[in-house]
Amino acid sequence: MEKEKNSRNAVRRPDCVTETRMGNTILVVSGFFKEDAVSTAADKMMRVLEAESMAGNRPEYTA
């Protein structure tokens, strides 16, 4: 059980890193995926696209 606890506290490298420059500032975003996940990033994106297509094209709300 101690081994499990130590593995959870171990420093983990990010699964993805994105850098974006805004003027003189560089924003660095690190992403971590759930280690025991079943669905892939592609599966999740497909669900997003399917939901958007089901919603249809709605005009942008301007107030």
Whether the full predicted model's pTM is greater than 0.75, yes or no, is no
Whole-number Å distance between alpha carbons of 29 and 23: 17
Tokens of 43: 């599966």
With vertex at residue 30, the alpha carbon angle to CA 13 and CA 9, rounded to the nearest 5 degrees, is 40
Specify the amino acid at residue 11.
Answer: V
DSSP state of 60: P
* Number of residues that make up the chain: 63
pLDDT digits (tens, 9 = 90+) for 4-59: 555 667 788 998 899 999 999 999 999 988 888 898 889 988 998 898 888 876 66
